[in-house]
Structure 1
């Protein structure tokens, strides 16, 4: 199977400098204060369910807004744009009765991001911009029961996830994504389904894109929601041979550091990190200023534990601009030489030898 040209270009860029991934999409969409009609647009004005809050739909009804947000992040210094597709698989879209729009939304989202990235790459050819097709965790979990009275119950199975993810990845690739980003992983089994789906679509199309993986440490337990430590999580996902492994969401930069350091010590892939702008306040809003967030992240770069940085919930182009400025003087983390051993993962890692 041939590798997509983005493999070489992404590796070259990552060898030169710490790469910048963009910030929050939802935070920026909220600034537009769209009402129900704003989400519906003309095409869905008579849709039988409320659609306000379906941010992924905006690539069809308000593409100019999504394109403008992408451009703002590029202007702020982003090397990698995420498509507006966090919930754009049919499992999550079922909440709005829009399952059958999944493929179309992913194609449209990738095309919008592609156009913005290509525009900026043309202006500065020595600094290529990349489009990461964002693949979120869905609103269901394959390894945890939603019913406390029935721990064996599951509201989704592996094959349902796999098929939904395949449809999404096809759309992202057909729209022009350079990278597949499996992100905000709270359940490793969901992520494994996304990984299998991604590899199957690569086989279908005869071309392989770089894969980025980003998990979520949900609290100070230092584990994902499904119970894994960062090291165990890495061993669970290493078979995908990802370009990067990292963490995003849930925590602010200060609290994320020890878990990033754990990944950096054990992963022979690049390490990414895009934390929230601090922790939400009583109103659910994020108060960490761009300067404070950047100052908290700069030591990661100085200490050589990251290759890719950006922002998640609450972050804006101003946050990304400050982060880019604060890390530009530092070299990217060097990939370690990991001694070959048998490395297994449960909730904890097991290393033999």
Structure 2
């Protein structure tokens, strides 16, 4: 059996360092991994490598698998983002749960993908810090999976569920173990379209923290799926926050689906109600008719920079379509801008269904 030496980060030290940095400046996350991988135009053979040359599924498009078959490329992309000005990069583990990897018959690789994904990003962080002496951080990325816990995929059977809460929890726990053992500094539950999936991830992370005697900062990022201003499971940004506030995350925010222009109002809404850091990493605009993203680094940086000067954000970055050029421009745009002050929110009974409810005593 393969041995994986554990490289747990010191959660208290990481939290202290991140908190200090966040008070001094707006922190910068990385940009899109998939966009960068597409530039390499990898073939089926590239995804397979020697180890999976005879695998009985097509593997092209399984970007997370490149952690094992092209680790040089994955680490190089992380380093490009660090060199562009990122304080944090996300591991290439968006689909590294047994649930998502089942599409390729690779469920058994989930732990290894997360472990190696964290290790590669950590290597890049050390290489970047060696160049300029600036501390970098690794955010272990938990994607939403390709299943939803609160909505039926069958329009003819509204009560049907393709996955249970416990199945999600178990898969996320395996992911958390790999990311923590590989040395990730932060747990990032991102691109959340179904809050119940996110709750399963957060329960799993908490259980693994207790299991390992480790506690790392947790970041949470939802996605507003269209111009309706709601997540796929129907929540407004405020309701989304009230649903997850109990997890006491290091940051709450939004990513993906929308460009900065379309995301601004939703980030503003979160900024008003969240008594923690707010993180925004939009797409490089909306996709064109070919599914590509056309927004230039300068245009994107101008809009994200306005988030900063308006006092809406503490952490910024980019999602689909963004590149190191976009991140470099964003880092420049927010440099020297005072981070959003964390508001003191009056204690009240606040509940969340699809919309936020505040009890006025």
Q: TM-score range by the shorter chain?
A: over 0.9
Residues 1:15 and 2:31 aligned together:
no
Q: Which residue does 1:97 correspond to in 2?
A: 105
In the TM superposition, residue 220 of structure 1 has moved relative to its aligned partner by 1.2
| Alignment counterpart, residue 44 of structure 1, candidates 25, 45, 52 | 52
Which secondary structure does the structure 2 equivalent of 1:132 belong to? strand
Contact (CA 8 Å) 2:91, 2:139: kept in 1 or not?
Answer: yes
**Matched residue SS, 2:118:** helix
- Give the TM-score taking structure 1 as reference length: 0.98
Note the C-alpha offset of 1:192. 0.2
In the alignment, what sits opposite 1:252? 259
Structure 2 match to 1:68: 76
1:211-260: per-residue Cα shift (whole Å, max 9, x none)?
00000001111100000000000011111110000000000000100000
> 2:328 maps to what in 1?
321
Post-superposition shift, 1:98?
0.1
Report the secondary structure of 1:58's partner residue: helix
- Please point out which of 216, 233, 238 is paired with 2:245: 238
Q: For 1:62-119, what per-residue CA distance to the aligned partner results, in whole angstroms no more than 9, with x for missing partners?
A: 0000011011101100000100000000000000000000000000000000011112
Alpha carbon RMSD of aligned pairs, Å? 0.8
Structure 1 unpaired stretches of 5+: none
SS of the residue 2:358 aligns to:
strand
SS at match of 1:88: coil
- Point out where structure 2 has 5 or more consecutive residues left out of the alignment: 1-9
Deviations 1:12-38 (A, max 9, x none): 111110000000000000000000000
Q: TM-score scaled by structure 2?
A: 0.96
Report deviation, 1:128: 1.1
Rounded to whole Å, the distance in 2 between the matches of 1:143 and 1:296 is 34
2:11, 2:185 within 8 Å by CA — same for their partners in 1? no
> Following the alignment from structure 1 to structure 2, what is the Cα–Cα distance between the partners of residues 336 and 209?
23
- Quick one: which of 71, 77, 89 aligns to 1:81? 89
* Inter-partner Cα distance in structure 1 for 2:127 and 2:59: 31
Partner of 1:289: 296
SS in 1 for 2:115: helix
1:109-142 per-position Cα deviation (integer Å, ceiling 9, x unaligned): 00000011112223333x3100000000000000
Task: Specify the SS of the correspondent of 1:273.
Answer: strand
1:111 paired with 2:116, answer no
Corresponding residue for 1:309?
316
Offset of 1:291 from its aligned partner?
0.5
Change in CA separation of 1:227 and 1:9 when aligned onto 2, cut-off 3 Å: same
Aligned residue number for residue 206 of structure 1: 213
Q: What's the CA shift for 1:339?
A: 0.3
Structure 1 partner of 2:170: 163
1:129-174 deviation digits (Å, cap 9, x = unpaired): 0000000000000001000000100100100000000000000000
Q: In the alignment, which residue of structure 1 is the partner of 2:4?
A: none
Identify the residue that residue 132 of structure 1 maps to in structure 2: 139
Structure 2 Cα separation of the partners of residues 56 and 112 of structure 1: 12
Number of equivalences? 351
Partner of 1:339: 346
